[in-house]
Amino acid sequence: MRIVFRCDPALEGRLPRPLPARAALPDWLRAMPNRAFSPVHGQDVRTVKQCPPFVDAMSYGFVMPLPCDVTVRDGVLSWDWDIPAPSVHAHPRAPISFHVPEQVTDTPLHRAGQALVKFNSFWTIELEPGWSLWATHPANRSDLPFRLLTGLVDADRFSDVGILFPGVWTDPHFTGTLPAGTPVAQCFAVPRAPPELVFETFSPDRAARYDATAAALLGGPGVYRRRFRARRRRSGGGGGEEAAEPLQVEP
């Protein structure tokens, strides 16, 4: 999959680039222990830092970064970002705009009197034919003071302007600064062709494999990682790929 990002030439060199999600893992994940004491079990148990599916979800696809620092105080968002005038008409200048709350009336997203934030994108995204862009909140990032709405965009056809990423501000007490580079959306390409759903019962061989795999999983840690987890690869930056170094957060 080749994903092409484009920006206004007047802003080149002033914008943080989208980057592989594995390069934007949060500090808390790297700092958390591999094991923690559980009063229920009376002993140390493995944390999610040792759960490959948890970490792989956070490492998958790419993230769209906040282009500048955004300060939040008393519910007001502000920024000081001096960028050149874009060379194309109707290009956004602000990193954030808003949706009125009435646009999500009668949904769980609605909060009376509270606008939805909209993270503006300064990059266009083009996918290969037949693929769409799934954009969602950065995986397992409930520490962020907002919650992105999930959307699916046919970015093989819609690639002339930037995709905007709306979200609900979930922490009314947040005061501080969201630094430039904060992941605001995690994205990945998905095929548009619908899957074929096939339903079967276990054959004797499948039943035996089920029992053997379940026994192995109950017998000790690391079975999924050693026997089933696919080797991860990362972009080489020029359209090719190279084997990834093991994530430091894994056991």
Residue 112 confidence class, pLDDT cut points 50, 70, 90: confident
d(CA 81, CA 92) in angstroms, rounded, equals 12
Q: Which domains are seen in the chain, by residue range?
A: 4-195 (2.70.40), 197-229 (no CATH)
pLDDT in tens, 66-108: 999 999 998 899 999 999 999 998 899 999 999 998 989 988 8
pLDDT in tens, 133-189: 999 999 999 999 999 999 999 999 999 999 999 999 999 899 999 999 999 999 999
Q: What are the residues facing 124 on neighbouring strands?
A: 6
Q: Indicate the pairing of strand 116-119 with strand 124-126.
A: unpaired
pLDDT in tens, 130-147: 999 999 999 999 999 999
Residue 233 confidence class, pLDDT cut points 50, 70, 90: low
Q: Where are the alpha helices (DSSP H) in the chain?
A: 27-31, 52-59, 204-219, 223
Please give the model's pTM, rounded to 2 decimal places: 0.88
Contact 242, 236 (CB under 8 A): yes
Structure tokens that stand for 154 in this block: 């046919």
- Write down the residue that tokens 């009197």 correspond to: 113
Counting DSSP H helices and E strands in the chain, the numbers are 4, 18
